[in-house]
Amino acid sequence: MPIRFSDTLFQLIHSLEKSEKRNFKLYIKRSSSKEDLKIIQLFDALDKLQEYDEKLLLKKLPSVEKPQLANLKTHLYKQVLASLRLLKTTESIDLQLHEQLDYARILYNKGLYLQSLRILDKVKDLAIAYNQDSFLIQVISLEKKIETLHITRSLQDRADRLSAEANEVNERRRMITQLSNLALQLYSWYVKHGHARNEKDETGVKNFFKENLPGNAYTLTNFYERLYLYQSYNWYAFIRQDFLMYYRYAQKWIDLFDEHALMIPVETGHYIKGMHNLLNAHFDLRNFQKFKATLAQLEEFATSDIVNHHDNFRVQAFVYINSAKINEHLMSGTFKDGLALVPYIEEKLNEYSLYLDTHRILVFNYKIASLYFGSGNYDTSIDYLQKIIQDNVDLRTDLQCYARVVHLMAHYELGNYEIIESLIKSVYRFMAKMENLTVVEEEMFKFLRNSFKISPRKMQPEFEKFLLKIKQFEKSRFETRAFAYLDIISWVESKVYKKTMSEIIKGKYFESKRSIPIAY
C-alpha cells in the first residue's frame, strides 16, 4: 500500500513553493550533466505523485533501473537543499553568518589571514547585534587560531581581549544551556502529562524547578537568558495551574520581544509561541478584552512577510490562531457559531499534515469535539472523541482521560443507557490507572452510577444536590482541570435550570463582561 509522506525526498519536494521549484530547475540546469537531467526527471515525477509509490515512480522513469533509484534520490535530495540554501541565505541571520564564516575560513586557508580577520570582525558585530553566541564562539576560536599561528602586530591587545571575550561568551552559553534545558524539560512534562494532577505531581515539579533554576536568574540581562528564564517560569506556572503567574511570565515573554524588536525575525517561532501562551493565559483567566486584543495582534502578525515566507511559521500561526478562535467560542458559549470554523480547520489540517505533530491534532480533535458537545450534537462529538481514544499515543494523558469522560457524557445525553454502565467502569479504570482522578470526577462517576436507580422524573433534585457538591471545589486548584477541560458545572446547571449549556455559558460570559476586569 502506498503511504503518503513516507519518503523524506517526497516530503521535501512537496513542501516546496512554486518559486522554490523554479529556482531548483534554474540551479540544476546551470551545470547540467546526463546525471543531473535524470534527477530533474525524478524531481518532476515525484512532484506529480499524490502519495509516495515506488512502483509507480519507476514506471514513470523508464530510463532509471531500480538499483539506481536510491543513489539518484540521495543526489537529488542534496541538490534541492543546496538550491534552497542559496535562495534562503538573505532570509535568515543564521545562514548569513554561516556564509560569512565560510568565506573567512576559505580566505584563511588561502593564506589571506588579514582579509579573513576583516570578515571575522564584521561577523562578530552581526553576531553580537543578534545575540548569536554560538557563532561568536566560532569567530573567537578562529581569531585565536590566527593570532596563535601568525604575527598580526596586535597580539598583546588582542590576546587579552579575545581571552576575556571567550570567557564571557562561554559563561553566557553555560547559563543559556541550563535555562533552555529547564524550559524544555518542563514543556516535555506538560506534553506528556498535562497539568499537575495532585500534590505529588506539584511537589515533584516544584523540587525539579528549584534544583535546576540558577541562583542568579534574576540578574541576567542577555536576550536568550531572559527568554528561557521566562519560558521556564511560564511552563512551571501552567503545569501547576497558577494562571496569574502564567499570565505574568507570558507577558514578560512578549515584552522581551518588544524590547528587542530586532529579534522577532530571528526567533519568530518563539514570538508566535509566546503570543499563544499569552492568549491561553487570558483564556484561563477569562480576561475577555485582552484576549480579543491579543488575538487581533497575532492575526495581524500572521499576515506579515516574516510569517508568510516560512512554512513553519505560517503553519504555527494557523494552529495558534484557530485554537484561540475555538477557545473564544468555548468561553462565550457560542458553540454553534464556532462550528463554522471546523470545515476550514479540517481543510488546513489536511493541507498541513506534513508539518503537524500528533499533539496538535489531538488538541484540535478535543476542541472540536467540545464545540459539538456544547452545541448538542453529541453524535458528531463522539466521532471526534473516538479519534483521540483510538489513537493510542503516549501524549497528554489528561486529554486522553477527558476525551473518555466527554465521550461517556455524550452517550449519557443520547440516552444510550445500555452501554453507559460498562463505559463508566471502563473510564473510571482508565483514569485511576493514569492517577488522573480528582474529587470532582469521583463525584461525577458516583452521580452517573446512581442515576440509573432513579426515574427521569425524579432526577431534578439529584442534579441540584450534585451541583451543590461540585460548586464548592470551583476555586480548588487541583480541581480546576475538571472545569477547564469540561465545564461540568455549566453542564449540571443546564440540567438544574432547564437551559442549554450554551445559554448557561453565554449568561456567565455577559455577566463577566459587565463586572470589573481583573487587575494584574
Walking along the chain (520 residues) 10 residues at a time, the average pLDDT comes out as 65 91 88 71 93 91 89 93 87 91 95 92 95 94 88 66 92 95 95 84 95 92 96 96 95 98 96 97 92 98 93 95 96 95 96 87 94 96 94 76 91 90 89 78 86 82 91 75 78 92 91 54
Q: Please state the separation of Cα 503 from the chain's center in Å.
A: 32
User: What DSSP designation does 304 have?
Assistant: S
List of residues 6+ apart from 95 with CB closer than 8 A: 85, 88, 89
pTM of the model: 0.85
Q: Where are the domains of the chain?
A: 8-90, 92-153, 241-332
| DSSP-assigned states of every residue in 360-395 | HHHHHHHHHHHHHHHTT-HHHHHHHHHHHHHS--SS
Helix ranges (H only) for 395-500 are: 397-414, 417-433, 439-451, 459-471, 480-485, 488-496
**Closest by alpha carbon to 368, among 388, 407, 339, 337?**
339
